Amino acid sequence: MKNEEVVRIFMENSAKVAARPIRVNGIIHMNEVLGEILANESAIYCPGISELEKAATIDTERRVDAYTDATVAVEESVAGIAETGSVVVTSANGRAVQASLLPAHHVAILSADNIFMSLDEFFAGLGKTPPTNITLITGPSRTADIELTLTIGVHGPEKVSILVV
Amino acid sequence: MKRGSGQSINFRDNARRAIENTTLRRAMRHATESFRQKRSDAIVGIPFEEWREQASELRKTVIGDIKGYVDEFAVNATKRGAIVHRLKTAGDARDLIGAILKDNGAKNIVKSKSMVTEEIHLNKHLESLGLRVIETDLGEYIIQIAGETPSHIIVPAIHKSREQIGRLFCEKLSCDFSDDPAVLTNTARGILRQEFLTADAAISGANCYIADTGSVVLFTNEGNGRMVTTLPPLHIVVTSIEKALPSIENLPLLMRLLPRSATGQTLTSYLSIITGARMPGAATGAKQLHIVLLDNGRSEIANGPYREILKCIKCGACMNVCPVYGMIGGHAYDSTYPGPMGVILSTLLNGIENAHPLLDATTLCGACAEACPVKVPLLKLLYELREMRVDKGYNKTAESLGMAGFGMAAKNAHIFQAGQTSARALWPLAGFLSPLTVNRLPKPTNRTFRRRFS
Ligand code: SF4
């Protein structure tokens, strides 16, 4: 288990950038919280690639195969970065990085063990042959292009929930 | 933009017109104030000086060996399936990009913000080939439908008020009038979503490229950068040769400085690191990835006395703190890059014979140099270019005399210190602004030239 302090800083910083971090204790608790935050979603995309995604209980009636049709994407993030409150998604293992971009709500499942304290730690461990696409997601999609007024939810999700397992 | 001789930028008339435009003045005042506030909030409690020193050194290393980093990048990116093109001129880049799109039968092209494509006037060229090009960054989209050019390198439509944007959308997109940024953003989102999903090809810029991994990096907030780099089957990245970082391990430094300096954010919503084309069996990325590394005069700048301008990471902080930019906005500069950085880069890229009037666009107050996250010596470069302008005889006699005096004094430390007051009096804009305006401009700095450069 990662140092609780790193998890705490991650939660604090991701909340600062308008994501919604939720700490869950194990798979059962994760599925309870998932049930609540997915209650109003009509089309759920969850690729079931990783162990945590396989363990997530998704209502089969509302589950969709195409992320383009989804109102929410539930996916495991390979890493979190406490310094910036970011979650990391990559194209490794056949994952479509754009799946967490198109739906209005992105639910990231993040193992507490995969949270790095700093950007340096994360990038130092990356090696010289990174996956085709590495995306750091820091809060919801936003713009300030009109009179520098902050507007949430432009092309990407307006809601980012993070379940820290 | 390269001009023929005799077509030099009419900066003074442009500036006068901008100052008379009250809507623009109001928009710029609001923008500058909120930018400055955000940036100063963002650098509280961080070792900003230490980071900018490190970043300055890093960028110096890069511009000392641009060719070496381009070579290393090209090898690594090619290994990962990207096609790297090293091009000399704007014309070469336009022709090549047009040809790639034509050869692939692409008709609908989505673009995410790229100042280098503005520099080479790419859209106009592609449209002349019958291609449909849609800008997808909200600010770029606004100015595209308005038929204008960006007035800021980070916030392209900063000169427009919400009412103006509301009326523009109403007229061009046949929607109901609203001046609510959330409603306007939503209108654009709906239209652009369809464009992303149906586009044949994408063109994007890159904030930097990484030599040791062959990656290109994009910082975005809206998500359009992620869309264009993941959805269309063909992706062309257009960037310039000086934007290298030696290693992916240097990225955290840039990540800490660029968003804070640009928008006051700790980090942009998205950071995309793209390494090569889509792999067999993968579900992300363009099947064909072209990376255009454009020189367009930069190698020459890198070998000359003003090379440090190439350290620039295009954050926009220098324009946000510039009293001249804040007064007149970006269009008055009539060149791709406005503000202090723009004055220097445009003068070097376009030649002093064409761009010399731009050197009036400074109060020499030095606020730009103090804000720059990579310590581009903006004030020093502005002084030196103005001296060069005097040497080449491109300015009025009165200033020549003053500058000659300045040059002599600068060689002699005692005279120089004594002459500070008169040096500050060489305040170029003061002569043609109304007295009211002059009073509102921050006065030239009282800190001495020597202290700054020692
Ligand atoms: S010169 Fe410095 S402050 Fe200006 S845009 Fe470039 S990096 Fe930013």
Mean pLDDT of A132-151: 89
Residues of chain B with CATH 1.10.1060.10: 305-391
pLDDT of residue B2: 43
Mean pLDDT of B95-99: 97
Q: What values do phi and psi take at A160, rounded to 5?
A: -125, 115
Pocket of ligand 1 (CB under 6 A): B 261, 312-318, 341, 371-374, 376, 378
Mean pLDDT of B204-233: 94
In whole angstroms, give the CA distance from residue A140 to residue B223. 9
Selected residue with higher pLDDT from B394 and A4: A4
Index of the ligand 1 atom closest to the CA of residue B261: 8
Residue whose CA is at the smallest distance from ligand 1 atom 3? B372
Tell me if A119 and B223 make a contact (CB, 8 A cut-off).
no
Question: Which of B155, B197, B251 lies closest to A144 in CB terms?
Answer: B155
Question: Which of A16, A101, A147 lies closest to B161 in CB terms?
Answer: A147
Shortest CA gap B299–chain A (Å)? 27
B329: pLDDT strictly greater than 50? yes
Mean pLDDT of B272-277: 96
In tens, the pLDDT along B115-172 reads: 999 999 999 999 999 999 999 988 888 989 899 988 888 888 888 888 999 999 888 8
Residue whose CA is at the smallest distance from ligand 1 atom 4? B318
pLDDT of residue B396: 58
Shortest CA gap A68–chain B (Å)? 9
* Lowest pLDDT segment from A149-153, B62-66, B424-428: B424-428
Q: Which residues does chain B have within 8 Å of residue A98's beta carbon, measured at their own beta carbons?
A: 226-227, 230-231, 284
Closest residue of A to B156, CA-based? Answer: A145
B36: pLDDT strictly greater than 90? no
CATH number at residue A54: 3.40.50.10420
Q: Report the 3 state secondary structure along chain B.
A: CCCCCCCCCCHHHHHHHHHHCHHHHHHHHHHHHHHHHHHHHHCCCCCHHHHHHHHHHHHHHHHHCHHHHHHHHHHHHHHCCEEEEEECCHHHHHHHHHHHHHHCCCCEEEECCCHHHHHCCHHHHHHHCCCEEEECCHHHHHHHHHCCCCCCCCCCCCCCCHHHHHHHHHHHCCCCCCCCHHHHHHHHHHHHHHHHHHCCEEEECCCEEECCCCEEEEEECCCHHHHHHHCCCEEEEEEECCCEECCHHHHHHHHHHHHHHHHCCCCCCEEEEECCCCCCCCCCCCCEEEEEEECCCHHHHHCCCCHHHHHCCCCCHHHHHCHHHHHHCCHHHCCCCCHHHHHHHHHHHHCHHHHHHHHHCCCCCCHHHHHCCCCCCHHHHHHHHHHHHHHHCCCCHHHHHHHHHHHHHHHCHHHHHHCHHHHHHCCHHHHCCCHHHHHHCCCCCCCCHHHHHC
Q: Calculate how far, in angstroms, residue B342's C-alpha sits from the geometric centre of ligand 1.
A: 9
User: Amino acid letter at B119?
Assistant: E
Mean pLDDT of A51-59: 95
Q: Which residues does chain A have within 8 Å of residue B160's beta carbon, measured at their own beta carbons?
A: 146
Query: What's the CATH number for B46-298?
Result: 3.40.50.10420
pLDDT of residue B38: 87
- Domain residues for the domain of A109 are 4-164
B192: pLDDT strictly greater than 60? yes
| B245, B257, B312: residue to mutate for ligand 1 pocket, most atoms within 8 A of CB | B312
User: Residue A144's CB: how many other CB atoms inside 10 A?
Assistant: 24
Mean pLDDT of B216-240: 93
Q: How far is CA B410 from CA A126, B9, B383, B437, in A?
A: 50, 29, 11, 30
Q: Calculate how far, in angstroms, residue B234's C-alpha sits from the geometric centre of ligand 1.
A: 31
| A-B C-beta contacts closer than 8 Å | 177
Shortest CA gap B137–chain A (Å)? 9
* Lowest pLDDT segment from A91-105, B48-62, B292-306: A91-105
Closest residue of B to A153, CA-based? Answer: B222
pLDDT of residue A2: 55
Architecture of domain B305-391: Orthogonal Bundle (1.10)
User: Residue A29's CB: how many other CB atoms inside 10 A?
Assistant: 14
Shortest CA gap B233–chain A (Å)? 13
Mean pLDDT of A133-161: 89
Number of domains in chain A: 1
Share the mean pLDDT of chain B.
85
B26: pLDDT strictly greater than 90? no
ipTM higher than threshold 0.90: yes
Task: State the pLDDT confidence band at B7, using cuts at 50, 70 and 90.
Answer: low
